[in-house]
Amino acid sequence: MNHRLRTAERASRAAGKLLCDMLGSALGVRSKDVRSNLVTEADTASERLIREILTADFPGDAILGEEGGTSGDVRGGRWIVDPLDGTTNYAHGYRCFSVSIAYESGDGLQVGVVYDPMADELFSAAVGAGAQLNGAPLHVSARSDLRDGLLVTGFPPIGADDDLDNLRVMGRFMRRAQAIRRDGSAALDLCYVAAGRFEGFWEAGLHAWDVAAGALIVSEAGGRVSDYSGAPLRVDCGELVASNGLVHDAMLEVLHDRA
């Protein structure tokens, strides 16, 4: 997997440079389905570049991209690509966004890379080999009491009549944790859990490209990742809880507390 990891790192850096070059330009912003679900010309240009790099090194691999869908033979492994995680931030010039690339085989997630081009932070992991930030080892925090924890969450794009259940959940967490943040890039949120900057993250309405790379990075940094029931994560399941492991059960309790 070393070759795939290096290719993913190279592709993420190239895409990150492209995004920085396009930041602040006319982006052709439009909504996909609901008004809050944006796509820009930068999203599509970034994915095109990533696909070119991945295909050049691994022409037989399938690629699932947020903008371009699936290409290639999905019976083997697949790349899972979010060419711009945090599009709404990016479109507004709010500099919290990232590039996320993962590789998944029949044995599960194998490689994960998330690149923050504004901070020049490259988070990476290969299964069984640990997680790194710019080449230095990553590890989750050691805080064991949820009351001392800084948590982060997100909200999926919603329509005018959609349920806002996560607001109620967020209120419960605000009473139990030290503080809550909402940054708008699930991939970076997960990497910040891996780096010990957050103790935990939860969100529903997610897609595989939002979480695949970050979930592996958290796991390889010593954290725990699950669905809302506590079962091992499937990247297509749509919901995720990630933590340093020490506050995970407490987070699940809050999620299921309907009081």
Residues 6+ apart with CB under 8 A from 112: 8, 100, 101, 102, 103, 123, 124, 125, 126, 212, 213, 214, 215, 216, 217, 220
Tally the domains of the chain.
Answer: 2
- The per-residue pLDDT for 75 is 73
> pLDDT, tens digit, for every residue of 5-21?
999 999 999 999 999 99
**Joined tokens for residue 257:** 């507390």
User: Do residues 102 and 218 lie in contact, with contact meaning Cβ atoms separated by under 8 Å?
Assistant: no
Where among 68, 102, 137 does a domain terminate? 137
- The per-residue pLDDT for 27 is 66
pLDDT band at 1 (very low <50, low <70, confident <90, very high): low
| Average pLDDT of the segment spanning 23-50 | 74
- The per-residue pLDDT for 25 is 74
Residues 132 and 6 in one domain: yes
Which residues form the domain of 245? Answer: 146-256
> pLDDT, tens digit, for every residue of 72-96?
776 778 999 999 999 999 989 999 9
Three-class secondary structure of residue 94 per DSSP = coil
Residues 27 and 130 in one domain: yes
Where among 137, 166, 186 does a domain terminate? 137
Pick the more confident residue, 146 or 233: 146
Q: What is the CATH number of the domain that holds 150?
A: 3.40.190.80
Where among 115, 137, 159 does a domain terminate? 137
- Does the pLDDT at position 53 exceed 80? yes
User: Do residues 226 and 211 lie in contact, with contact meaning Cβ atoms separated by under 8 Å?
Assistant: no
